[in-house]
Amino acid sequence: MQPKERTDGFAGQSDGVIGSWSTPVVIKANGRDELIVSFPEQVRAFDPEDGQRIVGDATV
C-alpha cells in the first residue's frame, strides 16, 4: 500500500518560531490524537491529520 501523499504539511503552522531537534510524539488526550511538538520554551499540540494547531500552549 502506498502511503497517502501530503504536500500541504504543517507549513505556516508554527508562526515562525524556531524548531528543535526533538522527535514529535502522537498521544491520546482529550478523546483524540494529538501530535506533540517541542519548540524552544514551549510545547505545541497539532491535529496529526491536518496539521492544524490545537490551541492552549504549555509554556515552560
Per-residue contact flags (x/-) with other proteins for residues 4 to 43, judged by CB under 8 A: x-x---xxx-x-xxxxxxxxxxx------x-x-x------
- Residue 48 in the binding site for other proteins (CB under 8 A): yes
Q: Work out the burial of residue 29: count CB atoms within 10 Å of its CB; fewer than 13 is exposed, 13-18 middle, 19 or more buried.
A: exposed
Cross-strand partners of 44: 37
Lookup: cell for 41: 520554551
> Measured from the CB of residue 56, what is the shortest distance to other proteins in angstroms?
20
Residues that bind other proteins (CB under 8 A): 1-4, 6, 10-12, 14, 16-26, 33, 35, 37, 48-49
